[in-house]
Amino acid sequence: MTDRNDPVVLRHRHLEQVAMTALEAGRVLVETGAKADVVRQGMVMVAEGLGAEEIYVRIGFASLAITVSSRENTITRMRMVGAHGVNLRLNHAARRLCARVKRGDMNAATTLKAFRRVAAATPRHSWYLVAIAVGLACASFGRLLGVDWQAFVPVLAGGTIGQGLRHFLLKAHTNAFVVAAIVACVASATAGLGCELVGSPMLQAAMFSAVLLLVPGVPVLNAQTDIMEGYPTMGSARAMTVAMILVFITVGVWAAQMSLGVAGPKVPPIAHGLAHQAFFGATAAFGFGILFNFGWPTLAWAAAAGALALLVRSIGLDLGWSLAAASFVAAASVAIGVRLVNLLPDRWGRAGNVLAVAGCIPMVPGSAASQGIMGLMELTAQAPVDAQATLMTTVEYTLKAGFTIGAIGAGLTIVSSILKRPDFPA
C-alpha cells in the first residue's frame, strides 16, 4: 500500500493540482477570446506561481495540454476547451488573477476557486441590450455599405432578431455552424421583407448587412496573429472555423433570397462623406463592444477607435488608394491610438489589442466574403447565367475580402510588435 506521507507522492499530487489549475486559467483565456501567446503566458504564470520549475504548454483549438515538473517529478495533463467567444471583462479579470498568482501568494486550491469565482462574478450586459446594440451595429454597417435610409430600420430589426435568436440557440447548445445558417436566414429574411414593405430597392445589400453580426471578426484577426507569432496550428484551426462559418452564413442568406425571390441587378451603393463614415463606424464598433462585454468606459474608446478607422480608411480611398492599402493604414492608426490610450491613468478605462480589433471590425469585409462564396454557389448551377461575368465578380469579391482582412491584421500586428506593451498587468 502506498504511503500517503511519501514525499514523492505528495509532490506528484501537488504537481497535478498545479497542472489542472494552469489548465483552468488557459481555458478561461481561450474561451474569452485571447490569442494563443496570451494563453501560453497565462498558463506559465500560474504554474510558476504555484511552484512548478519547468513548464511546457501545448495550445490547441479544442484542448490544452501542459507538462510541469519539480525536481525529478514530472506530470502531464490535458483538458478540453469550450466554445470560443469574446468577453473582455472576464478576460481582463483572468489576466489580473494570473499576475496575482505569479507573485506566489496563493496555492492551487485557492487559485482554482478564484478562477471559478471570477467567471461567475464578472458582469455581463443583458441579452436584450446586446441584441439591440448588435442590431444597431448591423444597421450602421448597412449605412457604411451604402444602403438608403429606408433600409435602416429593416436591417436594425433583422440584426436585433438574429442576435436574440442566436442567444437562445447557443444557450440550447445548438451547433455553432447550424446557428450561423439559421440566424443568417432569419435575419436576412427579416431585413428583406422589411425593405419590401417600406419600398427600399436595396434588398440584397440590406440582407447582407443584417447578417454581419455573424462575421467572426475577432477570430479571423486572432488567426492571423497566431500564425504570425508562431502558433500555426491554432491559427489554422481558427481560420478554418471562420471559413466554415462564412459558408453557413452564405447558405442562410441564399435560403432567404430563394424564399423571397430576390433577383435582378444590384442597386449601386450610395456614397457618403467623411463625417457620415466616422459616425457609423463609431456606432458599429460601440455595438460590437457591447457584444464583446466591454465595460462602459471602454465602450467609449471602442466608438472612438471605430470612428478613427473609418475616417482614415475613407480618406485613403478618396486619395485613390486600394481598399487593402487604406485598411492597412487605418488599422495601424487605430493600433497606435490604442497604445496612446494605454498611457492614460486607469480611471480613464483601458484595454489592449481587443480594443483595436473592435475598432477595426467595421472594416472587415464580411459582405464581400459572403458574396464571393455565393458567387461560387451560383457557378455550380446546371446552367449558370453569364458564367464568365459571375466568375470575375466572384474572384473580385474573394480577393477583396482576403487582402483586406490580411491588411487589417498586418496593420494591427506590426504596430503591436513594434510598440510592445505587457499582455498582463504588473
Structural domain boundaries in the chain: 7-121, 127-418
Residues 188 and 256 sit within 8 Å (Cβ to Cβ) = yes
Whole-structure pTM value: 0.88
CA distance 52 to 65: 15
Is residue 110 over pLDDT 90?
A: yes
Residues 235 and 226 sit within 8 Å (Cβ to Cβ) = yes
> How far lies 263's CA from each of 57, 202, 256, 266, 374, in Å?
52, 11, 12, 8, 13
Nearest to 267 by CA among 392, 391, 150: 150
- Taking only the tens place, the pLDDT of each residue in 198-219 is 999 888 889 989 998 998 888 8
Q: What is the model's pLDDT at position 405?
A: 85
Helix (H) or strand (E) holding 55: strand 54-59
Mean pLDDT of the chain, nearest integer: 88
Spatial neighbors of 110 by CB under 8 A, at least 6 apart, are none
Max CA separation in the chain (angstroms): 82
Least confident of 166-175, 300-309, 310-319, 347-356: 347-356
Spatial neighbors of 195 by CB under 8 A, at least 6 apart, are 150, 151, 154, 201, 202, 203, 206, 207
**How is the beta sheet containing 63-70 ordered, strand by strand?**
54-59, 63-70, 73-80
Residues 360 and 331 sit within 8 Å (Cβ to Cβ) = yes
Q: What is the model's pLDDT at position 4?
A: 47
Q: What is the model's pLDDT at position 6?
A: 52
Q: Which residue has the higher pLDDT, 138 or 379?
A: 138
Least confident of 100-114, 123-137, 217-231, 306-320: 217-231
Q: Which residue has the higher pLDDT, 401 or 206?
A: 206
Q: What is the model's pLDDT at position 351?
A: 67
Rounded to a whole number, what is the distance in angstroms from the first to the last CA of the chain?
46
Q: Give strand pairing partners of 64.
A: 59, 79
DSSP string across 71-103: TTEEEEEEEE-------HHHHHHHHHHHHHHHT
- Taking only the tens place, the pLDDT of each residue in 257-271 is 888 887 655 677 777
Q: What is the model's pLDDT at position 205?
A: 85
CA angle centred on 364, ends 123 and 166, rounded to 5°: 45
- Taking only the tens place, the pLDDT of each residue in 309-350 is 999 999 999 999 998 999 999 999 999 998 888 777 765 556
Q: Give strand pairing partners of 57.
A: 66
Q: What is the mean pLDDT of residues 22-42?
A: 95
Q: What is the model's pLDDT at position 2?
A: 42
Q: What is the model's pLDDT at position 376?
A: 67
- The percentage of the chain sitting over the pLDDT mark of 70, rounded to a whole number, equals 91
- Taking only the tens place, the pLDDT of each residue in 120-162 is 999 999 999 999 999 999 999 999 988 999 999 999 999 999 9
Rounded to 10 deg, the angle between the 176-198 and 152-171 helix axes is: 160
Within 122-231, residue ranges assigned H as helices are 127-144, 152-171, 176-198, 203-210, 217-228
